[in-house]
Amino acid sequence: MSAGDTQPAAQFSFAVRHAKRPAWALIGERLLTALIYACGISAIFFVLSIFVFVFKEAAPVLFSDRFDLRQFLFSEQWYPTSEINKRYGVLAMTAGTFSVTALAMAIAVPFGLGAAIYVSEFCGPRLKETLKIIIELLAAIPSVVWGFIGLTVMSKLIVQFTGAPVGVNILNGGIILALMSVPIIVSIGEDALKAVPDSYREAGIALGATRWQLVWRVLLPAAKNGLLAAVLLGVGRAVGETMAVLMATGHAVKIPHSILDSVRTLTANIAAELGEAPADSDHYRVLFLIGVLLFTITFFVNLAADMAVRGIRKK
């Protein structure tokens, strides 16, 4: 303390007050800040350019008179390589995407939410950490490995247990997609449950509710927006998944009648045919048009999920 008195504070105030940052530092900081802003805005740029580039390749066929948008959306006839009777109807593939996604969600939503509830409400901290790590690792499994599992393991099991002639079908794709969507649903769902204030739980328990009632009457209603977002993101992932369904659902372009029918999804169709369609042919452009369709579907699914999440934050 006393030592400070011997050195008056004013002695070096001059030095700090008159210190100047070198010009290169000031200019460097300006440039870097500009770069940071540019990178921030780049996300918008990338999403827009994805749409623009995919749409640009699709546009010539979309606006040509050889092409009928209604036929594209509502016909199940897909004969892109036919010499005399070309048909570009994607209804069968839309049905394929829809059926596989629906089955996947029918499995993944109850199990995923159940697992989220277990992780968030019932298990001890140790087990919780372990389960979360396993779920994170599951989410990391590449889709081509999932497809491979569907093709080799799952299809044999399906043939064995159901007696279906082929094992690559809606059931196979649905199970694989369900397993792929579960990690997303669990982790987002667990976040949503974590966001429910503890006071709700305490109030519920104080009123003598069992944990079962607590889950049904208190937690699920309170976390419903977040859980909805979890489900929507699961749907988004399932609709957009490519490799797994390409390998696990078979390649039949027809409207399915049972879950043991093979189907082809929108994504798998692009992956299967893009390599063979000559660049700039109508076939090639229609595949890009399917890309535009997929972009639009997932855009709205993600938008809805985002709005659901925003809903919880506002509260």
271 forms part of the interface with other proteins (CB under 8 A):
yes
54 makes contact with other proteins (CB under 8 A)? yes
Q: Minimum distance from CB of 106 to other proteins (Å)?
A: 14
The stretch near other proteins (CB under 8 A) out of 63-71, 78-86, 87-95, 111-119 is: 111-119
Could you say which residues in the range 27-46 bind other proteins, by CB under 8 A?
A: 29, 32-33, 35-37, 39-44, 46
Instruction: Please list every residue from 121 through 140 that binds other proteins, using CB under 8 A.
Output: 121-123, 131, 133-138, 140
Residue type, 31: L
* Least Cβ distance, residue 219 to other proteins (angstroms): 12
Shortest Å distance, C-beta 291 to other proteins: 4
What gap in Å lies between CA 163 and CA 116, rounded to an integer?
34
| 141 counts as binding other proteins under rule CB under 8 A | yes
Rounded to a whole number of angstroms, the minimum distance from the CB of residue 275 to other proteins is: 7
Instruction: Say if residue 190 is exposed, middle or buried (CB neighbours under 10 Å; 0-12, 13-18, 19+).
Output: buried
**Which of 105, 164, 170, 179: binder of other proteins (CB under 8 A)?**
179
- The span of 63-71, 158-166, 192-200, 271-279 binding other proteins (CB under 8 A) equals 271-279
Burial class (CB in 10 A: 0-12, 13-18, 19+), 32: exposed
Nearest CB to other proteins, comparing residues 39 and 258: 39
SS (H, E, C) the chain: CHHHHHCCHHHHHHHHHCCCCCHHHHHHHHHHHHHHHHHHHHHHHHHHHHHHHHHHHHHHHHCCCCCCHHHHHHCCCEECCCCCCCEECCHHHHHHHHHHHHHHHHHHHHHHHHHHHHHHHHCCHHHHHHHHHHHHHHHHCCHHHHHHHHHHHHHHHHHHHHCCCCCCCHHHHHHHHHHHHHHHHHHHHHHHHHCCCHHHHHHHHHCCCCHHHHHHHHHHHHCHHHHHHHHHHHHHHHHHCCHHHHHHCCCCCCCCCCCCCCCCCHHHHHHHHCCCCCCCCHHHHHHHHHHHHHHHHHHHHHHHHHHHHHHHHHC
**Span of 49-57, 98-106, 220-228, 255-263 interacting with other proteins by CB under 8 A:** 49-57
> x/- string (CB under 8 A) for other proteins, residues 191-220?
-------------------xxx--x-----
281 binds other proteins (CB under 8 A): no
Does residue number 84 form part of the binding site for other proteins (CB under 8 A)?
Answer: no
Please identify, among the stretches 60-68, 88-96, 158-166, 294-302, the one whose residues bind other proteins according to the rule CB under 8 A.
294-302
Q: Name which of 95 and 246 has its Cβ closer to other proteins.
A: 246
Question: Would you give the binding string for other proteins spanning residues 215-254, x where CB under 8 A is met?
Answer: x-----------------x--x--xxxxx--xx-------
Q: Residue 110 and residue 131: Cα distance in Å, rounded?
A: 18
> C-beta of 85: minimal distance to other proteins in Å?
26
**Interacting positions 142-161 with other proteins (CB under 8 A):** 142-145, 147-149, 151-153
Is 74 among the residues that bind other proteins (CB under 8 A)? no
